[in-house]
Amino acid sequence: ETGVTQTPRHLVMGMTNKKSLKCEQHLGHNAMYWYKQSAKKPLELMFVYNFKEQTENNSVPSRFSPECPNSSHLFLHLHTLQPEDSALYLCASSQVAGSGTDTQYFGPGTRLTVL
């Protein structure tokens, strides 16, 4: 398996559910990212991990909780979400965050629908 993979690809959940999104990168990178992509809006950076340490949290509500057990895996734990959280959640990885000329490689995303 190559590149960046994400599971599940589609997720429908109620506002009281708890679920987790998983991301895995096979590129030997040290930085991983979570983005939210809503229709016709710019990508919104949510979290950044560099060498397993969280270096960025862009004022994301606490109902989104990231976890990075190692440089290859990233999770986004979801609980008590709101309908406006419905979006495409993209994971990305890069060699080292904040290093300049650092290209990010994206996974296919998880399409989340909150009912």
Distance between CA atoms of 60 and 45, rounded to whole angstroms? 9
C-beta of 63 vs 111, nearer to another protein:
111
Could you give the 3-state DSSP secondary structure of residue 104? coil
**41 or 69: CB nearest another protein:** 41
Q: Is 105 in the site for another protein (CB under 8 A)?
A: yes
Q: Does 104 bind another protein (CB under 8 A)?
A: yes
16 touches another protein by CB under 8 A: no
As a whole number of angstroms, the distance between CA 49 and CA 74 comes to 9
Q: Give dist(CA 54, CA 65) in Å, integer.
A: 11
Per-residue binding letters, 47-66, with another protein (x by CB under 8 A): ---------x----------
Q: Please list the residues that pair with 67 across neighbouring strands.
A: 75
Least Å distance, CB 41 to another protein, is 6
